[in-house]
Amino acid sequence: DQINKKVYLAQYCALAACGARDFSKFVHRELLKKVTELLKSKKKYTAQGLAILLKETIKSEADRAENLGEGEKEAVLDMINKSGLILGTVEKIGDGPKVPKLRALYQGRILKAENYCAFGVQERAARDVLKAEHSENMSIKSGVDLVVKSIKAAFEADQQFILGGYIEVLVLGHRNFGDLLLPRGEQLLDRAITLFRLEKLPECGVQVTQREEVPKKKRRKLILPSADIPSEDES
């Protein structure tokens, strides 16, 4: 009964992916644009409509990935068709306030709402970390750290599927979303990117997390609790 229910995207959501570096960069750049547009529009879409919209974005960018051979490209597209896209919705819990929730989408269908989702090879390893360390009302930084840690756990459980040897985490959000308000220190600009690079060691898999510096002119600032909110001119 919820398959085609129209819902809003959440106040913020996180997308994470691993794989060939060039492919991931293409995908994330275009997904960032698309999700930011959706957040700004404040329109309602069906789950199927959102799934199709984002899947087509990924497919078009996969076709442009210069460093992918035909066989690998087919495997990537097959993975996209079978994977779940995580989109947030705002729900009212009982008589309490509205809170962000995640919905897992699979081939255009809403599977269930939960606080976190994991798909793919060694998803159990990732879920174990999420289950053990996830807590309500986590800060954005804590959420990013948890995403990285959970994917690292999956890497370490099966080093055979490491392609690019790094993880990229995008945090997307919109400052004013409906009547759902975030604490002052948790507010985001129209879009924010936090990029992590993981070093792959030949025998020990992924062990070291390093922050990859992005040129300041190209990087959107992530506002953390200790930061002041910039003026509109700065954004």
pLDDT tens digit sequence for 48-97: 566 566 666 666 666 665 566 666 666 555 555 444 444 444 455 455 55
Residue 25, classified by CB atoms within 10 Å of its CB into exposed (0-12), middle (13-18) or buried (19+), is middle
* DSSP per position, 46-81: -HHHHHHHHHHHHHHHHHH-TT--HHHHHHHHHHHH
Assess whether pLDDT exceeds 90 at residue 3. no
Pick the CATH number of 12-211 from 2.60.120, 1.10.3470, 3.30.70, 3.60.20: 3.60.20
Which positions ≥6 away from 1 have C-beta within 8 Å? none
Higher pLDDT, 215 or 191: 215
Tell me the mean pLDDT in the region 19-33. Answer: 56
43's tokens: 């329109």
* Residue 127 DSSP class: H
Assess whether pLDDT exceeds 70 at residue 11. no
* Secondary structure E strands in the chain: 12-18, 84-92, 98-106, 109-114, 167-173, 191-194, 196-201, 205-211
Assess whether pLDDT exceeds 70 at residue 132. yes
Tell me the mean pLDDT in the region 181-202. Answer: 39
Yes or no: say if 67 and 49 are a contact pair by the CB < 8 Å rule.
Answer: no
Higher pLDDT, 143 or 126: 126
The domains of the chain are located at 12-211
pTM: predicted TM-score of the whole model, two decimal places: 0.46
CA distance 21 to 6: 34
Weakest-pLDDT range from 85-89, 114-118, 168-172:
85-89
Yes or no: say if 56 and 87 are a contact pair by the CB < 8 Å rule.
Answer: no
* Helices (runs of H) and strands (runs of E) counted in the chain: 5, 8
Residue 33: CA count within 13 A, CB half-sphere = 8
C-alpha 150, offset from chain centre = 13
C-alpha 98, offset from chain centre = 21
Assess whether pLDDT exceeds 90 at residue 128. yes
Yes or no: say if 198 and 209 are a contact pair by the CB < 8 Å rule.
Answer: yes
**The predicted structure's pLDDT at residue 25:** 54
